[in-house]
Amino acid sequence: MTSSPLSGLTVIDLASVGPAARTSRWLADFGARVIKVGPPPQQSGVQIVPPFYAYGGHRGMERAQLDLKAAEGRDAFLKLASLADVVIESFRPGVVDRLGIGFHNVRAVKSDIVYCSTTGYGQTGPKSQWAGHDINYLAVGGYLHCSGRGAHGGPALPGATVADSAAGGMHAVMSILAAVVYRQNTGEAQHLDVAVADGVIALMSLYIDEYLATGTVPEPGHNILTGRYACYGLYRCHDDRWVAVGAIEPRFYANLCTALGCEQWLDHQLDDAVQDEIRGAFATAFAGRTMADWVEILAPADTCVSPVATVPELVEDEQYRARDTIITAHRPQDPAFEQVGFPLAGMAHDQAAPVIRDATLTDTDALLAEAGYDAEAIAALIARGVAA
């Protein structure tokens, strides 16, 4: 690609971790210029500092450190914001307004700003001030209740931060891009109220709509996608590894039964009366070979069978390698290492290998100069600890 889809879009991100940090990561990978704004060193406890590898090591981003509680720091931020297209923040509702950097403050200096507030429960409502993390949003949104059960009989912990990434980060990316298109058509600013809990509702809409329309209560085993039928589930193999089976369509189910030597169940895919027997037959068959053996036999045979891969396995998987989803990055004075690259459609795969800078390095001087400060004014802000 000669240019990235979001080239020319400038984003300021006030978050260090969580959904907002995922949002700016993906926007940067689509080509946006991202400026991370955090507190100066003397306020190092204000924000969580993620490990060097998290969020792509903030590759390709610029950094500024400003004391937003100081009037001069607030003014410096607003001058930077006047040059931006998008501002992302993840404070609790009301905090940015108290700091003087909220939507209305930024709109006063940038009339068409897209201002994205990401919180757990949103800017309004009786739970808006609740603290939370990924597990909490998955809990209130019904995701955990509809998921499989752990050894203790209760909902199992998810293996990924689904709420932070999909219900929060991707939610915010979609909303921001929609707002950018709207601004191009109207010239108007927008304040986006991105609630992660709302995003979970969007992810759960298939089941929620089912309940609202039919009264059926979604839970583990209530329909084909939650384990009601043997054709959709997980099976242990001879080597104690697992395969995932998603043979929903009748022809895939027929192929699976034939390959497993379970032809007696060909006409009983959705027969509730015999699902335990089918599961038992499938379990016995899968237990006879290793995971690798079954994947070699079944995966290319239109059975919708795949291995339950570990992270070390997936990063070496020939499919992901063929699609350049893993890239090499560099840290000064350290050996090169690999990280997830640009896996989403539309991201430029031909970007140079990123260099992950020391987190203590900033671009504050250059950014403030771009915002109109002269060298003397910048030096004074740094000397007073307002900038670093």
Domain assignment present for residue 223? The answer is no
Q: Please state the domain count of the chain.
A: 3
286 with 150, same domain: the answer is no
Residue 1 confidence (pLDDT) = 43
Domain assignment present for residue 213? The answer is no
340 with 376, same domain: the answer is no
CA dist 62 and 366 (Å) reads 10
Please compute, for residue 18, the number of CA atoms within 13 A of its CA located in the half-sphere on the CB side. 25
252-301, pLDDT tens digit by residue? 999 999 999 999 999 999 999 999 999 999 999 999 999 999 999 999 99
114 with 192, same domain: the answer is yes
116 with 187, same domain: the answer is yes
CB of 261 within 8 A of CB of 287?
A: no
36 with 182, same domain: the answer is yes
* CATH number of the domain encompassing residue 367: 3.40.50.10540
CA dist 255 and 253 (Å) reads 5
299 with 330, same domain: the answer is no
What are the angstrom distances between the C-alpha of 374 and each of 13, 78, 365, 379, 380? 24, 16, 9, 9, 10
Domain assignment present for residue 388? The answer is no
CA dist 68 and 360 (Å) reads 18
CA dist 377 and 384 (Å) reads 11
**Is pTM beyond 0.85 here?**
yes
122 with 271, same domain: the answer is no
190 with 237, same domain: the answer is no
350 with 369, same domain: the answer is no
CB of 62 within 8 A of CB of 34?
A: yes
377 with 349, same domain: the answer is no
For 237, the domain range is 231-308
The H-or-E segment that residue 195 falls in is strand 190-195
Domain assignment present for residue 2? The answer is no
Per-block mean pLDDT, blocks of 10 residues, the chain (388 long): 83 96 97 96 75 93 97 98 98 97 98 98 97 97 93 90 97 98 97 98 97 96 95 98 98 98 98 98 98 98 98 96 93 89 89 87 96 97 96
Hey, what amino acid is at 167? Answer: A
The DSSP call for residue 357 is: -
CA dist 297 and 283 (Å) reads 16
CA dist 88 and 24 (Å) reads 8
125 with 163, same domain: the answer is yes
Residue with tokens 């300021």: 12
Mind telling me the catalytic residues?
133, 164
Residue 44 confidence (pLDDT) = 62
**SS3 (DSSP) at 136:** helix
* CATH number of the domain encompassing residue 281: 3.30.1540.10
145 with 15, same domain: the answer is yes
Residue 214 confidence (pLDDT) = 97
